[in-house]
Amino acid sequence: MTWDPTPPEQPPVDGGRFDPPADPHAPTLAPPPAPAPSTGPPPPANPAWPGAAQPTNVSVPPVPPRPTPLPAPYGTHGTYASPPPMPPAPPAAPGWAPGAPTPPPNYSAPVAVRPRHTGLKVMGATVFALALVGSGFGVRALTEDQTASTIIRNPTPVATVPSVAIDPNAEPLAAVAASLSPSVVQIEVTNGLGSGVAYDGQGHILTNAHVVGEDRTVTVRTADGRAVEGRVLGTDTGTDIAVVQISGVSIPAVPLAESPPIVGQTAVALGSPFGLDQTVTAGIVSAVNRPVDNDKGVVVNMIQTDASINPGNSGGALVNKNGQLIGINTAIFSQSGENNGIGFAIPVKTARAVADKIVNGQSTAKAGLGLTGPPETPSGDAGAYVESLTAGGAAEAGGIEAGDVIVSVDGTAVRSFEQLRGVISAYGPGQTVTVEVVRDGTRQSVQVTLGTLNLASPPTTTR
């Protein structure tokens, strides 16, 4: 039970005097002096306050009930006793609204609001469609900008915390945070900020393309507070991956997971939500192979997680309980711009393949099958229905026919046409895949050498 130290407000009568119900435990006071006799007619009765005059044109609420008796130590034998005085509320820190969480310590600088970054808008406008089990909803990119929230800035390096021995068996998440925090950085661009993660030990930082935007140099802030210049090697807007090169500082690479994530496993997010660097949150993998479409005509099958990620987490790490990178945090489902427990990360296999091409100066063009189809199969069964084929395209050359239902690619199950697009986008042109189709009720496999996906706005790679 909660206790409100403020007594219920009573309606004023007789010129503002309050007449609350009598308290049997209140001290006895002398009665007030009797009012002067009046020669006029008596005032009308007030049913809510017997004996008091009824104000004119004022709606008087009923008398509030007595507070419920409080248990000890606030009450004795079921009676209402005065609680101990409450300490005065501390003054609100600048930049923190009343009722907001207590601000972090050592943030003595005034709150700074970053200007809006036009390149950090929601993918595909304010929101972009996410095809998901036949329905669509909006997802939002996670870069911090003025439209997202206030950024709290710390002008000094984070205070060094004494190292303690952590038993990974007793505290696996604490062990993950301690071992991987040095690998996660904050990336500051002209008009915003995001996160990044060192992935190869050679000064290459993996992040999102929407984090760096059009910038060719960025500021990379390490876990110990140092700020170094980073050069953007390239971006792939199709999969929303970018690589930043730094030098003169050594950052350990995060281990990469070899096995794909599974639903229900632990997921830990590390990054800089709202500019609060070195923030660690945890949850689980909520779903895998969730198709997310962007405004570049590319679908990426992403990891869905309920680990809390917010604006500023973009480009940060999503890892498992063994401290292995499983994805790059990229977007959330949100109508407010903040976390609702549904976030999305680019699988590390997809992110690493694109990053390696950027580092090596190779094309990041996406593979294409050369076919079209509806969101669902005509029968309602799982799979991707082939409605038409591009003449001379990869699917036609590989033996796929109109009317086929594609159910898997290289052993990865396909449940919808959008999911098929996401599976194929993880490959490069010229690669050969095994496509399993259902034709006239019979399953059969065909080998398809993938072509190039034609995009209205192709990905860019800059060296």
- Do residues 311 and 399 share a domain? no
Of 368 and 80, the structure prediction assigns the larger pLDDT to 368
**Residue type, position 145, single letter:** D
pLDDT at 191: 85
Read off the tokens for 183. 């690998």
Of 118 and 187, the structure prediction assigns the larger pLDDT to 187
337 phi-psi bin (left φ>0, alpha ψ -120 to 50, beta other): left
DSSP 81: -
Handedness of CA 17, 21, 23, 29 (dihedral sign): positive
Q: What is the CATH number of the domain that holds 172?
A: 2.40.10.120
Assess whether pLDDT exceeds 70 at residue 420. Answer: yes
Residue 414 lies in a domain: yes
> What CA–CA distances, in Å, run from 305 to 81, 239, 261, 319, 428?
49, 18, 11, 11, 27
Q: Provide the residue range defining the domain that includes 242.
A: 108-160+168-362
- Do residues 75 and 144 share a domain? no
Q: Three-state DSSP class for 460?
A: coil
Express each pLDDT in 50-66 by its tens digit: 443 334 343 333 434 44
Residue that is last in its domain, among 334, 362, 390:
362
- Do residues 317 and 442 share a domain? no
Residue 103 lies in a domain: no
- Do residues 66 and 189 share a domain? no
Assess whether pLDDT exceeds 60 at residue 128. Answer: no
Residue 457 lies in a domain: no
- With a CB cutoff of 8 Å and minimum separation 6, the contacts of 92 are 98
Handedness of CA 362, 294, 424, 331 (dihedral sign): positive
Residue that is last in its domain, among 362, 396, 416:
362
DSSP 182: G
Residue 459 lies in a domain: no
pLDDT confidence bin for 126, thresholds 50/70/90: very low
Give the mean pLDDT of the chain: 74
The structure tokens 């991707």 sit at 384
* H/E element, 284: strand 279-293
Average pLDDT of span 241-258: 94
pLDDT confidence bin for 130, thresholds 50/70/90: very low
pLDDT confidence bin for 216, thresholds 50/70/90: very high
pLDDT at 342: 93
- Do residues 77 and 134 share a domain? no
- Do residues 371 and 424 share a domain? yes
- Do residues 132 and 246 share a domain? yes
Express each pLDDT in 374-383 by its tens digit: 999 999 999 9
Of 92 and 436, the structure prediction assigns the larger pLDDT to 436
Of the listed ranges 39-43, 187-191, 213-217, 301-305, the least confidently predicted one is 39-43
Residue 94 lies in a domain: no
Q: What is the CATH number of the domain that holds 376?
A: 2.30.42.10
pLDDT confidence bin for 111, thresholds 50/70/90: very low
Instruction: Kindly list the catalytic residues.
Output: 210, 240, 314
- Do residues 311 and 407 share a domain? no
Average pLDDT of span 266-283: 95
Distance CA 144, CA 113 (A): 10
With 0-12 / 13-18 / 19 or more C-beta atoms within 10 angstroms meaning exposed / middle / buried, residue 91 is: exposed
Residue that is last in its domain, among 294, 329, 362:
362
Question: Is the CB of residue 246 less than 8 Å from the CB of residue 230?
Answer: yes
Strands 442-449 and 451-452: what pairing? unpaired
Question: Is the CB of residue 255 less than 8 Å from the CB of residue 240?
Answer: no
pLDDT at 177: 92
- Do residues 232 and 188 share a domain? yes
Reported for 229-234, long-range contacts at CB under 8 A and 24+ positions apart, including other chains, are 230/187, 230/205, 232/462, 233/204, 233/358, 233/359, 233/462, 233/463, 234/358, 234/364, 234/460, 234/461, 234/462, 234/463
Read off the tokens for 332. 């959330």
Read off the tokens for 115. 């200007």
Residue-wise DSSP of 313-326: -TT-EEE-TTS-EE
* H/E element, 396: helix 394-398
Average pLDDT of span 139-166: 47
Assess whether pLDDT exceeds 70 at residue 317. Answer: yes
Question: Is the CB of residue 428 less than 8 Å from the CB of residue 341?
Answer: no
Express each pLDDT in 136-148 by its tens digit: 334 555 545 433 3
- Do residues 396 and 297 share a domain? no
Residue 95 lies in a domain: no
113-130 burial string, b = 16+ CB within 10 Å, else e?
A: ebeebebbbbbbeebbbb
Average pLDDT of span 255-268: 95
- Do residues 8 and 123 share a domain? no
Assess whether pLDDT exceeds 80 at residue 246. Answer: yes
Q: Three-state DSSP class for 372?
A: strand
- Do residues 384 and 264 share a domain? no
What is the number of structural domains in the chain? Answer: 3
The closest alpha carbon to 445, from 454, 453, 457, 433, belongs to 433
